[in-house]
């Protein structure tokens, strides 16, 4: 079950964190994986790790906020069976202390970046009358999080785009779903804590870990397992859905 043999998968943000875990798992399950990431060294590391297993993988250093560059990459890949939109950034702040530059930065990466990849993939998938898209949303689009105004805005948009694409292309053989993780222990989180809570890294890591009722952050591999299921043929009847994977955060904290 959950084999991806002969599938061509694109994973954005595949150089680290959840995206990397997804890329590695997809390759293990037989997919040809195309990793898109802005960081060349991280992208190379993921590709090298996949190649050690003799699986097929290709790297594409790409800024997802630039539609022309995204389109060039997808034209080069040519056929896309699966798209996982994992690239994203975060920000701490409420509406009062979020600047216009902060807002634009979050919008460009988390919203426009997803839009650019969706648009390029849908053109290909529509032509082939098949395809699966999985977007990374967040618990922030399901529940109010303190000091996450711009981030919540961006992930709410990802959720809405997921529903729109699922509705518009259901008769074109394209499925589109999203997942909503709570906190996941990735370099993204470590850097976030380091930048925003200098000198209190251990304290904040413990606090953020225990904010999940399950008592810890998720592992990237646990998120990747759900992504694999939703992108596999075993999930062929699932579209237009959001799946929380949050250690009980949404239901048990409210």
pLDDT single digits (tens) 10-55: 999 999 999 999 999 999 999 999 999 999 999 999 999 999 999 9
The predicted pLDDT at position 188 comes to 79
Neighbouring-strand partners of residue 84: 11, 134
Query: Which of 203, 195, 137 minimizes the C-alpha distance to 166?
Result: 137
Tokens describing residue 65: 């906020």
- CA dihedral (17, 21, 27, 29) in degrees, to 10, reads -160
State pLDDT tens for residues 92-129. 899 999 999 999 999 999 999 999 999 999 999 999 99
Cα angle, residue 72 at apex, residues 70 and 78 outer, rounded to 5°: 105
Q: Which of 151, 159, 169, 197 is catalytic?
A: 151
Does 151 participate in catalysis according to the annotation?
yes
Q: Can you list the alpha helix ranges (DSSP code H) found in 29-143?
A: 40-51, 67-77, 100-106, 113-128
Task: Express each pLDDT in 125-145 by its tens digit.
Answer: 999 999 999 999 999 999 999
Beta partners for residue 8, in sequence order: 32
Tokens of 77: 């890949």
CB 85 within 8 A of CB 36: no
Buried b (16+ CB within 10 A) or exposed e, 51-68: eeeebebbbbbbbbbeee
Tokens coding 117: 């990849």
Q: For the chain, give the percent of residues with pLDDT over 70.
A: 100
């Amino acid at each position: 079950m959950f084999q991806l043999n002969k599938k061509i998968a694109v994973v954005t943000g595949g150089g680290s964190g959840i995206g990397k875990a997804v890329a590695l798992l997809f390759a293990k399950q037989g997919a040809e994986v195309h990793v898109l990431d802005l960081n060349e060294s991280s992208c190379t590391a993921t590709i090298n790790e996949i190649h050690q297993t003799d699986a097929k993988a290709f790297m594409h250093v790409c800024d997802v906020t630039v539609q022309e560059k995204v389109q060039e990459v997808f034209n080069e890949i040519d056929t896309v069976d699966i798209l996982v939109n994992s690239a994203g950034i975060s920000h701490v702040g409420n509406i009062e202390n979020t600047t216009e530059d902060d807002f634009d930065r979050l919008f460009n990466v988390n919203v426009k970046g997803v839009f650019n990849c969706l648009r390029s993939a849908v053109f290909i998938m529509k032509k082939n009358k098949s395809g699966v898209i999985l977007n990374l949303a967040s618990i922030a689009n399901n529940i109010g999080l303190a000091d996450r105004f711009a981030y919540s805005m961006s992930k709410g948009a990802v959720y809405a785009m997921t529903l729109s694409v699922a509705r518009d292309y259901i008769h074109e053989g394209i499925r589109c779903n999203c997942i909503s993780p709570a906190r996941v222990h990735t370099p993204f989180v470590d850097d976030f804590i380091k930048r925003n809570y200098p000198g209190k890294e251990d304290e904040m890591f413990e606090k953020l870990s225990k904010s999940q009722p399950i008592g810890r952050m998720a592992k990237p591999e646990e998120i990747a397992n759900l992504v694999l299921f939703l992108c596999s043929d075993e999930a062929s009847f699932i579209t237009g859905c959001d799946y929380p994977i949050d250690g009980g955060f949404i239901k048990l904290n409210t």
